[in-house]
Structure 1
């Protein structure tokens, strides 16, 4: 199942609706990208207003570490010719109840310190290079096959799955945070399954495969419909 699709017309994100028999509660997954066209974020915001509850990604608080890491994508909108903007949705102003189950900066920093020093130093060295490449590459990154994402691991993912470097960073940036959001969704299923509500899960596209698998394996939720939103036209 495709989550982010690349084609000759551009890049699209699949909004997934998950249901299970015997439950009134439905999940609507919004695979997000850190930068996109303004029209993409406007379309997402419009659909979020129609939901009953928002589960939104976002590390709580500010730190030098998160500032440096997010620099790798914040530089893209700085290139005005790209037409890109960073996620500009004011989630708490949409008039919908919101829960943010993500880690705090302190918790994220704790996970970061668990990464061996040599890998952390390598990351600090790579960040400026990636930022410059992103700025110069502008829209090419979002309009390349590299952005494609499926619910199953790609051949490239499987190739690096046993790599120590990759494993450490997957736990820091993904695994622990994925478990946090899945715990929140599990609690909603336990307490509100009898309610006919749409729960929007607004998380980075990279988290969506784990969320889809977790809801399927633990609770029997399956994607039933998908709506494509254009991230960027070619």
Structure 2
């Protein structure tokens, strides 16, 4: 069963595109949801996180203190790399289980894997088509400041913590321009779904050209 990878930098508009695809009928597996499962109390990654980062990243109820962990990893590339080495393999295994289930439960539906850290996880070659939701770095920082109430420094750190736009775009079969309004992004996501549905499952090789022709 083919799998479409959907990625993009923080605040690029991935969530908007993912929501539209799901509303229109795509089956979406979300790496962020899987990552939360991996680090929840009793999750397979939480004990390793506590061993690496200490009890200060665990709250009184035994759950991961995301703010405390974020304060460490967004300012320390080595710590961030260690966290990725803990979480990524668990998410990878969970995602493959989800794909296997989807191939049986919904074989005719467009299957999309929303994976923000595609470049960092080095998994692009596993997928049949890579879609990158793209907005310029300055625009993404603005969104982080305005919509998530981050400071300039915090927004810059969140952006810098991920792979570069150039790295993501180098993987792309299809690029969705999400630099404009949300309505613009929704319109392009609708076109993407139309193209994927028309090409699914045997003609995904045609999707790039068809999207380029039809995208507003």
TM-score range, shorter chain: 0.3 to 0.5
> Where is the strand percentage greater, Structure 1 or Structure 2?
1
Higher relative contact order (CA 8 A, sep 6+): 1
> Where is the helix percentage greater, Structure 1 or Structure 2?
2
TM-score (norm: length of structure 2): 0.41
TM-score (norm: length of structure 1): 0.39
